[in-house]
Amino acid sequence: MISFFREIQSAEVDEAYHIYIETFDWLKARGVRQWLVPLPKDKYLGWQQRGENFGLFIGIRVVAIVSLTWEVSPYWQKEVGADAYWWLSMLAVATEFRGAKIGEQTVLEAENRLRGKGATEVFLDYVDEQGFLPSFYKRLGFDEVCRKSITYPSGNTFPMVLMRKMKLNQTPQLTPSSHRTTTPRG
C-alpha cells in the first residue's frame, strides 16, 4: 500500500470532515466520550484556512486526518506555560482502514512534518475515560505530563490527560505485536 501525507486541499475538506464525523459516531456508539459533541465544521474550516489540516492518502483517497495546530492551550497554561506549542488534534481514520496501522502511520507522518518545521516536541490531550488511548500514544513515544479535570465552556467537566512527545527526531519502532485498533485523539 503506497501512501503519502500532505495538507488537505480545499476540494478534499468535505471528505476529510466526513472521516471525522464517521469516527465521532463510531466512538459514541461504543460509549467512548472522547468528543462530547462533534467539532463544528466552521472550526475545522478555520483550521483549513490556516493550513493546519493534513491527511494520509492512499492513491487519491484520504484515509486518515489529523490537525497540527500552533497554539496556546487555555486549559494547560499552568502545566506548559503561556507560550504557543504544536498540538496534535483530531486524529481520525476512515472506517474501512481501522486496524491497519493507519493511525500510527498518520501520527508518525505528522511528526515528520513538524520536524521539518524545526519542532522538537508536540502535545496532545484526551479524555481519561478509556484504556486504549494511553497505550496507543505511549507506543508512539508520548509521555504523560499530568492529569486534571477541566471544565469547558459548555459547563461539562472531564478528567483529562496531557501528553507530550519530545525529541521528535527519535521515531519509535512499531512491531506487529504492539498494534491495536487505531483510534482518534480527542
Domains of the chain in start order, with CATH, are 3-178 (3.40.630.30)
68 contacts 110 by C-beta, under 8 angstroms? yes
pLDDT in tens, 114-152: 999 999 999 999 887 666 788 889 999 999 999 999 998
Per-residue CA distances from 56 to 129, 139, 148 (Å): 27, 20, 32
pLDDT in tens, 92-111: 999 999 889 999 999 999 99
Mean residue pLDDT of the chain comes to: 86
Mean pLDDT of 74-83: 92
Q: What is the pLDDT of residue 178?
A: 33
- Set of cell numbers at residue 127: 479524555
103 contacts 64 by C-beta, under 8 angstroms? yes
- Predicted TM-score of the model (pTM): 0.85
pLDDT in tens, 6-62: 999 999 999 999 999 999 998 888 877 777 788 899 999 999 999 999 999 999 999
Q: What is the pLDDT of residue 180?
A: 29
Q: Between the CA atoms of 146, 151, 152 and 154, what dihedral angle is there, to the nearest 10 degrees? A: 160
